[in-house]
């Protein structure tokens, strides 16, 4: 089996991991603490294996295509936040539910967006080049978006400064990936390390969702009705953002393959990067992490639809 086949069928791995985790958590709830303990090193490994695929030391080169980068930045960091704010108004006033939606929908994807761009006839070099820009900007702007869109009482209750351990879970793999990139580029033949690690994000993410489902099985059962409320919001998001991409592509006269890549960038979200922050929230906020996992599953089915819709209907 090649890597592209693995990535094409990843949704079934994740669904299997979630179902197995929920089953284990229901049959053996005493394992919840152990599963949660194992989750953090699994997340660090996942983030490192993903970040090492990005050209982190070549951010400047991504700005050479001004029109494409401008479209990506306008879409992901202006139009999408406005859409997310509008969709938020349709949700019940549950702060944990709303926080989970904001965390996952405000951050553009930096991993499987590249795979789906390739499968959907997009421009893979452009997709790879723009990923470090998306990653760095989302980490910088996410606190501002949350401050603007969350009730101030919620922000005070959370005390976001207490989430610094989760920030380390993201920054440590990011720093290690940058050092690895420098090491790989220092001598020919070392790129084999990156190629081998490219196999790992899919199985590692399957492990992560298995551990989350197992650790939070009881919370999932008690919050099932709340979780179903966000499904229409995530579906509406997936249906709306390709039209944003179409508008930007026409305004900036993007080539067809660039426009397809833009649509996949706006449609995919960076769920596993914000997972550490959701998991680090205090007791009573477990729904936020479950919302993020649910969005990932819905998004993957949405990407299957995108692979037909975007190249055959929107950007023919």
d(CA 52, CA 193): 10
- DSSP conformational letter for 281: S
**Given this model, what pLDDT does residue 217 score?**
81
Q: Is the pLDDT of residue 152 over 90?
A: no
**Given this model, what pLDDT does residue 157 score?**
61
Model pLDDT for residues 202-229, shown as the tens digit of each residue: 899 899 989 988 888 887 777 777 788 9
Is the separation of the CB atoms in 126 and 15 below 8 Å?
A: no
**Given this model, what pLDDT does residue 141 score?**
93
Which range has the top average pLDDT, 115-119, 161-165, 293-297, 305-309?
305-309
Is the separation of the CB atoms in 302 and 120 below 8 Å?
A: no
**Given this model, what pLDDT does residue 219 score?**
77
Rg of the chain on CA atoms, in Å: 19
Helix (H/G/I), strand (E/B), else coil: 17: helix
CA dihedral 55, 298, 203, 265 (to 10 degrees): -10
CATH number of the domain bearing residue 105: 1.20.1530.20
Total count of domains within the chain = 1
**Given this model, what pLDDT does residue 187 score?**
83
**Given this model, what pLDDT does residue 4 score?**
74
pTM greater than 0.75 (yes/no): yes
Is the separation of the CB atoms in 181 and 56 below 8 Å?
A: yes
Model pLDDT for residues 161-190, shown as the tens digit of each residue: 566 777 888 889 999 999 998 999 888 888
Domain residues for the domain of 236 are 3-314
Over range 242-271, report the average pLDDT: 95
- DSSP conformational letter for 54: S
Model pLDDT for residues 67-112, shown as the tens digit of each residue: 999 999 999 999 999 999 999 999 998 888 999 999 999 999 988 8
Over range 38-46, report the average pLDDT: 92
Round the average pLDDT of the chain to a whole number and report it: 88
What is the separation, in whole angstroms, between the first and last Cα of the chain? 30
- DSSP conformational letter for 76: I
């Amino acid at each position: 089996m090649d890597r592209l086949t693995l990535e094409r069928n990843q949704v079934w791995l994740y669904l299997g991991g979630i179902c197995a985790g929920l089953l284990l958590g229901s049959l053996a709830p005493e394992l919840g603490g152990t599963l949660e303990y194992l989750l953090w090193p699994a997340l660090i490994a996942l983030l490192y294996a993903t970040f090492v695929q990005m050209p982190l030391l070549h951010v400047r080169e991504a700005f050479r295509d001004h029109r494409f980068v401008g479209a990506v930045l306008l879409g992901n960091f202006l139009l999408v936040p406005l859409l997310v704010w509008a969709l938020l108004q349709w949700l019940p006033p549950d702060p944990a539910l709303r926080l989970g939606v904001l965390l996952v929908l405000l951050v553009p994807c930096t991993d499987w967006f590249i795979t789906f761009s390739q499968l959907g006839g997009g421009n893979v070099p452009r997709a790879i080049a723009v990923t470090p820009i998306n990653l760095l900007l989302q980490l910088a702007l996410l606190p501002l978006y949350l401050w603007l869109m969350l009730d101030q009482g919620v922000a005070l209750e959370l005390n976001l400064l207490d989430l610094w351990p989760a920030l380390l879970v993201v920054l440590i793999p990011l720093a290690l990936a940058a050092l690895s990139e420098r090491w790989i580029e220092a001598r020919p033949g070392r790129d084999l390390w990156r190629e081998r690690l490219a196999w790992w994000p899919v199985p590692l993410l399957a492990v992560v969702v298995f551990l989350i489902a197992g650790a939070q099985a009881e919370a999932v059962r008690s919050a099932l009705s709340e979780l179903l409320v966000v499904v229409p919001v995530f579906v509406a998001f997936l249906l709306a953002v390709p039209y944003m991409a179409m508008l930007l592509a026409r305004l900036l006269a993007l080539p067809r393959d660039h426009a397809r890549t833009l649509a996949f960038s706006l449609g995919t979200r960076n769920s596993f990067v914000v997972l550490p922050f959701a998991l680090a929230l205090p007791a009573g906020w477990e729904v936020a992490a479950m919302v993020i996992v649910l969005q990932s599953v819905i998004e993957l089915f949405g990407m299957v639809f995108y692979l037909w819709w975007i190249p055959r209907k929107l950007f023919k």
